[in-house]
Amino acid sequence: MRFTYVIGYRHSPDRIINLRRTIDWLSGFNNIDLVLIEQDKYSKISHLNLRAKHLFLKTDKPYNRSWAFNVAIKRNNNPIIIFGDSDLVMDPHQFIESINQMDKYEVVSPYSTVLDLTPDESMLDINGMSQIKRPGRGEEDNQKINLCGGIVMFRADSIVKIGGFCEQFEGWGAEDNFQTMKVEKMGLTFKEMPYKAYHLWHQKSQVDMGLYQKSLSMLEQMDKLDRDKIQMHINATLPKIGFLNKYY
């Protein structure tokens, strides 16, 4: 079954290294349409041969992961659409096994553990990464991996049914929490696979704490909404999402 894989991206020198490695990983799959959506004041990667359909969103606003994903949703023609970060890879067989669950579930998280790699470990191939024995996030600690964070798989009709991603969240954090909340409150069937993803090393991004606190406050308010109110939110926002020229 053919699927779309969407990566949202804002350029930095170490992130382009990880992006290339992630695309190398994805190039091993058949039946994939890879879409790379860049946000910035001007494109910094359009001249590169990255083996993906490249869409550029012009903006001088904070990074908006949801906007990038919604642009892809509006242009998707495949029955499955997968949303992924530019620095996450996993075992190819486990990834395909997760896709195969899409005939049973509307939403699938292909892993339940994330291992944060060192710079040297990030240069290993996937077999080398799988030999690392230390536990990852979600394995021996109390930190549960977010269903809709990192990499998440949706049936195309189901992501539309819940209104795509919420573009009100800007900057880092909380948009994936709200997406998980929508999946649960709107009754979509979902599965979390017992596999591991590998997070390629990069410099930690500087978080705008003002935006982050705003997002957390908005998430807290939305968490109080019941299913009917969430449906009203979806109905109001769905016609307004995924515009290429959101700010211009």
Domain assignment of residue 23, yes or no: yes
Q: In what order do the strands lie in the sheet with 88-90?
A: 88-90, 196-199, 113-116
Closest alpha carbon to 65 in 151, 137, 147: 151
pLDDT value, residue 171: 86
pLDDT at 207: 74
Mean per-residue pLDDT for 119-134?
A: 96
Judged against a pLDDT cut of 70, whether residue 167 lies above it is answered with yes
Q: What pLDDT does residue 141 have? A: 67
Pairing mode, if any, of strands 196-199 and 113-116? parallel
User: Could you tell me if residue 245 is inside a domain?
Assistant: no
Q: Is the pLDDT of residue 142 over 90?
A: no
Averaged pLDDT of the chain: 94
In a domain, 81, yes or no: yes
pLDDT at 170 over 80: yes
Q: Within 13 Å, how many C-alpha atoms sit on residue 87's CB side?
A: 24
The Cα–Cα gap between 134 and 196 comes to: 12
* Residue 102 within any structural domain of the chain: yes
24: in domain: yes
CA 177, 181, 187, 193 torsion-angle sign = positive
Range of the domain at 48: 3-240
H or E element: which one contains 97?
helix 92-99
pLDDT for residue 206: 74
248 lies in a domain? Answer: no
CATH number reported for the structural domain that contains residue 69 in this entry: 3.90.550.10
| pLDDT at position 243 over 80 | yes
More confident residue, 52 or 139: 52
**What pLDDT is recorded for position 13?**
86
Q: What is the pLDDT of residues 80-100, one digit of tens each?
A: 999 999 999 999 999 999 999
**What's the mean pLDDT in 173-188?**
94
Amino acid letter, 131: Q
**Residue 212 located in a structural domain:** yes
Please indicate, yes or no, if residue 247 is contained in any of the structural domains: no
Count of the separate structural domains present in the chain: 1
